[in-house]
Amino acid sequence: MINTRITELFGIEKPIIQGGLMWIARAELTAAVANAGGMGFMTALTFADPEGLREEIRKCRQMTDKPFGVNLTFLPTLTPPDYEGYIRVCIEEGVGFLETAGRNPEPYMEQIKSAGIKVLHKCTSVRHAQKAQKIGCDAIGIDGFEAAGHPGEDDVTSLILVPRTRDALDLPLVASGGFADGRGLAAALVMGADAVNMGTRFVATKEAPVHDNIKQAMVDHTELDTRLIMRTLRNTERVLHNTIADKVLEIEAKEGETKIEDIVPYVSGKVGKEMLDQGSLERGTLAAGQCMGLINDIPSVQELLDRIMADAEAAIRERYSLL
């Protein structure tokens, strides 16, 4: 047993979090993580409207009686989402925890906090973490450069970012970016984090609702097989290296300002969803982290979480026995 301020905050057994995963963090995966003793956040924007999220929250409740939360990401989108509507549904459905990400959640904090919802805000720099503490967030997730999806624009790895954030603020802290196994969890705890957040590792699990080709791709690729796209738009995204990522980079390398319209056919969420459903690895872009180098199998979520806990405990014991 490893008890931390994060296990206490969420009322969970294991300091392991499945954060937002666009299209993937739906009831099946989130409930599996909750049932295995971790904390799962289902991704609100996966559902076309707030009522779709409501349905999925209810579905998840039927699959688990353990705590789970909802991820709400505020990044540029092709169609503006009804953020207030998603939050209203969370309040009406009695969701206790939100993971916010992408941008400062301040405009929505009054709505969220007046309902007593606890907020874990995921950010990519120490200054943003300090701001999140100031506006009343209950916990901070700090996302290192290794991470899949949007790791920010500062390019600082978890090895620096986690202890720097720990030194800069008092809130419970979740380390994210590069974590996939028990050694990573042990290291994160030693660096001052209270839990780890994993994304890519959860894609390669039995319960992840994606095509088997996508799961196998997480096993077959390594830490060398990601690329950073949309840097020219200051909305950098770490994705699996494929011909589409190369195509986007080629467009971005052209002289003159890149516009989102130039790359929409390659990066849109609609295409990404088809890719996940059909298992077509060259159809679009797929968020993937450097931790692919640490993924060698496709276990159930329960097997994965049990193994991570056993390996983390062993790693900590072995280090102490050296003293």
Using the rule CB under 6 A, is 158 a contact of ligand NAD? no
Find all residues with CB under 8 Å of 256, minimum gap 6, and list them: none
Using the rule CB under 6 A, is 43 a contact of ligand NAD? yes
* Shortest spacing between CB 229 and ligand NAD, in angstroms: 9
Alpha-carbon Rg of the chain, whole angstroms? 18
Using the rule CB under 6 A, is 235 a contact of ligand NAD? yes
Cα separation, 188 vs 157, in Å, equals 12
* Shortest spacing between CB 185 and ligand NAD, in angstroms: 21
Question: Exactly one of 135, 160, 260, 310 binds ligand NAD (CB under 6 A); which one?
Answer: 260
* Shortest spacing between CB 190 and ligand NAD, in angstroms: 27
Binders in 278-307 for ligand NAD, by CB under 6 A? 287
Question: Exactly one of 184, 272, 284, 289 binds ligand NAD (CB under 6 A); which one?
Answer: 272
C-alpha dist (Å) from residue 92 to 29, 45, 317? 22, 17, 45
* Shortest spacing between CB 186 and ligand NAD, in angstroms: 25
Among the candidate windows 17-25, 110-118, 153-161, 290-298, which touches ligand NAD by CB under 6 A?
17-25
Q: How is residue 114 annotated by DSSP? A: T
* Shortest spacing between CB 100 and ligand NAD, in angstroms: 10
* Shortest spacing between CB 241 and ligand NAD, in angstroms: 17
Instruction: Count Cβ atoms within 10 A of the Cβ of residue 194 and give its class: 0-12 exposed, 13-18 middle, 19 or more buried.
Output: buried
Output 43 or 133, the one with its CB closest to ligand NAD.
43
Find all residues with CB under 8 Å of 61, minimum gap 6, and list them: none
274 is written with which tokens? Answer: 């088809």
Using the rule CB under 6 A, is 233 a contact of ligand NAD? yes
Using the rule CB under 6 A, is 153 a contact of ligand NAD? no
Find all residues with CB under 8 Å of 110, minimum gap 6, and list them: none
Q: Using CB positions, name the residue nearest to ligand NAD.
A: 269
Per DSSP, the three-state class of 149 is: strand
Question: Exactly one of 104, 130, 157, 268 binds ligand NAD (CB under 6 A); which one?
Answer: 268
Helix locations, the chain, DSSP H: 5-10, 27-35, 50-63, 83-92, 106-113, 126-134, 158-168, 182-190, 200-203, 212-220, 243-253, 260-267, 269-278, 301-321
Per DSSP, the three-state class of 312 is: helix
Question: Exactly one of 144, 149, 178, 289 binds ligand NAD (CB under 6 A); which one?
Answer: 149
128 is written with which tokens? Answer: 């943003």
Question: Exactly one of 11, 58, 75, 296 binds ligand NAD (CB under 6 A); which one?
Answer: 75
Cα separation, 111 vs 44, in Å, equals 16
Using the rule CB under 6 A, is 143 a contact of ligand NAD? no
Using the rule CB under 6 A, is 219 a contact of ligand NAD? no
Residues that bind ligand NAD (CB under 6 A): 20-22, 43, 45, 71, 73, 75-78, 149, 230, 233, 235, 237, 260, 267-269, 272, 287
